[in-house]
Amino acid sequence: MVGFRKIRSAFTSSKTIRGNVVIVTGSSSGIGSFIALEYARYGARLVLVARRENKLREVAEACLEAGAMDAAVCPADLTKECDCRRIVEFTVSRFGRVNVLVNNAGMAESGLFEDYETTGSFRQTMDVDFLGAVLTTKHALEHLARAKGQLVVVASVAAYCPYPRQAPYNAAKAALVQFFDTLRTEPIGRLIDITIVMPGFVASEMTAHAEGHIPWWWPMIPSGDAAKAVVDASISRKRHAIVPSWYSSWLPYRAFAPELMEWLPRATLVGKPPSIMVNRALNAILGEELTSKLFRAIAALNF
Distance CA 186, CA 188 (A): 6
Whether residue 271 contacts residue 240, with contact meaning beta carbons closer than 8 Å, is answered with no
Distance CA(24)–CA(140), nearest Å, equals 13
Q: CA 281, CA 82: separation in Å to the nearest integer? A: 57
Q: Rounded CA gap, 86 and 94, in Å?
A: 12
Is 169 known to be catalytic?
A: yes
Q: Where are the alpha helices (DSSP H) in the chain?
A: 2-17, 30-41, 53-66, 81-95, 120-126, 132-146, 167-185, 205-208, 223-235, 251-256, 258-265, 276-286, 288-300
Give the closest residue to 201 by CA, choosing from 233, 170, 236.
Answer: 170
From the list 39, 169, 247, 253, the catalytic residue is 169
List active site positions.
169
